[in-house]
């Protein structure tokens, strides 16, 4: 009986965890580069589907937590803005993460 309850609980938790994931963009992707020596400094590269670098931004003073849904939404929103082709003079991602 305990095994059945445990299995049921695991199935429910797995289903709920999958329902909260943020979908990736179908127009491109992003890659975050960071290291243990400087955890609050990350380099974020945005690519189109042809694997061409279209935008690059350095985020300093804040650790980019990829597992956070809000962070992934900000990364995907930035990717969408960059792929529109408009020129930006200020850091886009930093503005999205500070909201």
Instruction: Write down the pLDDT at residue 64.
Output: 86
pTM attached to this predicted model: 0.69
Say which residues have a Cβ less than 8 Å from residue 58's Cβ, sequence separation at least 6: 41, 42, 43, 44
Would 6 be classed as within a structural domain?
no
Long-range contacts of 15-23 (CB under 8 A, 24+ apart): 20/69, 21/69, 22/69, 22/72, 22/73, 22/76, 23/76
Would you call 16 helix, strand, or coil by DSSP?
A: helix
Would 73 be classed as within a structural domain?
yes
Q: Distance between the two ends of the chain, CA-based, in angstroms?
A: 47
Using an 8 Å Cβ cutoff, are 85 and 28 in contact?
Answer: no
Which range marks the domain in which residue 83 is found? Answer: 24-98
Domain count for the chain: 1
Would 9 be classed as within a structural domain?
no
pLDDT tens digit string along 8-54?
666 666 655 554 455 667 889 999 999 889 888 999 999 999 999 99
Would 3 be classed as within a structural domain?
no
DSSP 35: -
């Amino acid at each position: 009986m305990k095994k059945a309850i445990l299995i049921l609980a695991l199935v429910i938790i797995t289903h709920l965890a999958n329902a909260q994931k943020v979908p990736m963009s179908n127009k491109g992707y992003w890659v975050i580069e960071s290291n243990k020596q400087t955890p609050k400094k990350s380099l974020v590269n945005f690519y189109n589907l042809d694997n061409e670098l279209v935008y690059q931004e350095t985020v300093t003073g804040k650790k980019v937590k990829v597992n956070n849904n809000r962070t992934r939404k900000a990364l995907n929103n930035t990717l969408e803005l960059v792929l529109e082709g408009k020129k930006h003079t200020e850091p886009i991602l930093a503005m999205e993460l500070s909201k």
